[in-house]
Structure 1
């Protein structure tokens, strides 16, 4: 599934590559479509990869000479970490490295040598492999935020990461943690109200006042996870800081940032640089900025781009342990051919209703006949 010069997606035959020294050829079994992919299709991001897709599970088809890991053999099922810790030329499905929304994907030696292709001891059932990467993001965030022993977790964003953060909160922060979930759409709010697993407090972003949010979060130690599209990240951060004035607060900027990446609430802070300080799970422990707000409070802020291999494996294990807890988040499953009209439509609208149902996670089966 290739983006043409106009940005539209279409199916295109391509020669099947042969892996060279240190390379792997994989067949994606299931690939997830995330908010970042939609931002690329909408032109919000300028990533150049013609073939998108950085989430999912794949099967190794062929290994080039010199692949050192004896587990990376044809037939092995793997997850690929899309973010290289040191080589910016590898960013799966984003820059020049084509992603997983195709029948065969070539993984370059720089990623294989770095250990970014991870054999899965157990594979999540069905199409749940599409949730491994976003759940790994949530796992990384939980490890960083739980160090500060929050009693309340405030989540902005009603996409996949936001829902996963709510569903894992008591598992990864402790059984007493409260969850407050801010949704960006009424459709999202209604979807959560019907879901088997939802937050203790559900709020809509439209018209949400500082006072109402302050009442919802209380005055206990607070962790904030902002998993929104880039244009919404700063407004949500500022709303959270205003509502949490005087509260012991730590914030994780999971979502991207628009330019300039600054806020009047945090004078002189380049939030993009702060977010980029943690890449692919490094350093460990993650860098956390200890900042002063314009109102005189102290707040801790971090962000991260990508995760470590251990987070991906922990996420896969969690999906295997409790598949029913997460299964309903994969709301739509299509073939490559079926994905084309869905994604072309989503590129032109903010409407997340597909086939009469709200889209949370779209899973694509590249091997399924068109």
Structure 2
């Protein structure tokens, strides 16, 4: 008897390497997937750097896969050969958080438990996705669609985006198509290098700033009218950027706490507001419509405040349709493409360095081509 093996990128501390792992067999209602393309995101970087305690040794929650085999009782719509996307956040079962609590997509085979399959978190992709490696953008673009579904209700005139990672760039590029051409965009970058990268892009915000710019420059860039702030920031920067926005924008304001937050996060500018609780009030697309808190600042101004963990299935479908309809608007955000071996090398570098540069180019999104060879290794049982 032999045991099938597959290759996986495995992390242990700051060490990242490709290893052989036993390939599981799906049982009642489970699915075994063959990831094709997987993306590396900001929360993945936080795990690699030891800033999060998530236990999964194999990370990765963005991308597309093929169904390889299904356990008895699985949905017939998810037959072997079906190309799927996995919603990584279960709205009711916190034990399912793909690539965080259980092994993710940066391996040649990924087992999806029955609880996630039954909840509809594995979805056939609707029609052909745009060619190339854009599947790495599916889940982050879905989070932008979720944010915009709430911000549409605020009838904003300006979208102010903090963060120059993948989600920040996606928000800037999708704003005109989703929120309408009349919405102007202001993009605040973490560094001058990030701003310089954006300046060289065909699809960029109406105004480009950095976090070091004078607050008056931000106030002038935002202008008048209702403003929405999207905080596409790592958890160690979200609170600082929130306070910057509260000070710079004097008028009608709605804030999306999309970035992570410490569990005890609070601000003297929002007395009595438990920010982590506001963000956690929306999970996996539920409830619908999303809850928006009406907070009061230290100066007595009322603002809208919300956040979200995960997305609804519909947001993933919207993202797939958007990437298929306008691939050239997003393609250059996939700055690096690698197989498993080079991807492990890149991840090891990023675990130890914060420069976001690989082989002389700024890394925005890494798309990992995971697809396994048809001949897989086996060992004697």
Is 1:187 equivalent to 2:193 in the alignment? yes
Misfit runs of 4+, over 3 Å:
1-5
Say which SS state the counterpart of residue 76 (structure 2) adopts: coil
- The residue that corresponds to 2:28 in the other structure is 21
Question: CA distance change for structure 1 residues 38 and 4 in 2, over 3 Å: closer, same or farther?
Answer: closer
Matches of 2:55 and 2:167, distance apart in 1: 24
Question: Which of 12, 17, 23 does residue 19 from structure 2 map onto?
Answer: 12
Contact 1:335–1:368, Cα closer than 8 Å, also in 2: no
Say which SS state the counterpart of residue 147 (structure 1) adopts: helix
Say which SS state the counterpart of residue 71 (structure 1) adopts: helix
Matches of 2:288 and 2:371, distance apart in 1: 38
Please report how far the alpha carbon of residue 259 of structure 1 lies from its aligned counterpart in structure 2 after TM superposition: 4.7
Question: Which of 284, 293, 299 does residue 289 from structure 1 map onto?
Answer: 293
Q: TM-score, normalised by structure 1?
A: 0.97
Is 1:269 equivalent to 2:273 in the alignment? yes
Matches of 1:92 and 1:64, distance apart in 2: 19
Please report how far the alpha carbon of residue 240 of structure 1 lies from its aligned counterpart in structure 2 after TM superposition: 0.2
Contact 2:231–2:242, Cα closer than 8 Å, also in 1: yes
Alpha carbon RMSD of aligned pairs, Å? 1.0
Say which SS state the counterpart of residue 123 (structure 2) adopts: strand
Is 1:111 equivalent to 2:121 in the alignment? no
Say which SS state the counterpart of residue 170 (structure 1) adopts: helix
Deviations 1:338-369 (A, max 9, x none): 11111111011110111111000000011267
- The residue that corresponds to 1:83 in the other structure is 89
- The residue that corresponds to 1:243 in the other structure is 248
Please report how far the alpha carbon of residue 2 of structure 1 lies from its aligned counterpart in structure 2 after TM superposition: 4.3
Matches of 1:124 and 1:29, distance apart in 2: 14
Say which SS state the counterpart of residue 14 (structure 1) adopts: strand
Structure 1: runs of 5+ lacking an equivalent:
none
Question: Which of 59, 65, 78 does residue 72 from structure 2 map onto?
Answer: 65
Deviations 1:157-205 (A, max 9, x none): 0011000100011111111110000000111101100001000000011
Is 1:258 equivalent to 2:265 in the alignment? no
- The residue that corresponds to 1:196 in the other structure is 202
Is 1:136 equivalent to 2:134 in the alignment? no
Matches within 5 A, 1:205-244: 205-206=211-212, 208-244=213-249
Contact 2:14–2:352, Cα closer than 8 Å, also in 1: no
Matches of 2:39 and 2:141, distance apart in 1: 12
Deviations 1:207-249 (A, max 9, x none): x23222111111211010000111100000000000112x000
Structure 2: runs of 5+ lacking an equivalent:
1-7, 374-381
Matches of 1:164 and 1:121, distance apart in 2: 20
Is 1:330 equivalent to 2:334 in the alignment? yes
Matches of 2:210 and 2:287, distance apart in 1: 35
Matches of 2:221 and 2:15, distance apart in 1: 42
Matches of 1:257 and 1:364, distance apart in 2: 27
- The residue that corresponds to 1:352 in the other structure is 356
Name the count of aligned residue pairs: 365
Is 1:321 equivalent to 2:364 in the alignment? no
Contact 2:86–2:122, Cα closer than 8 Å, also in 1: yes
Please report how far the alpha carbon of residue 62 of structure 1 lies from its aligned counterpart in structure 2 after TM superposition: 0.2
- The residue that corresponds to 2:379 in the other structure is none
Say which SS state the counterpart of residue 21 (structure 2) adopts: coil
Is 1:365 equivalent to 2:372 in the alignment? no
Question: Which of 146, 153, 166 does residue 159 from structure 2 map onto?
Answer: 153
Matches of 2:344 and 2:82, distance apart in 1: 28
Question: CA distance change for structure 1 residues 217 and 226 in 2, over 3 Å: closer, same or farther?
Answer: same
Is 1:40 equivalent to 2:47 in the alignment? yes
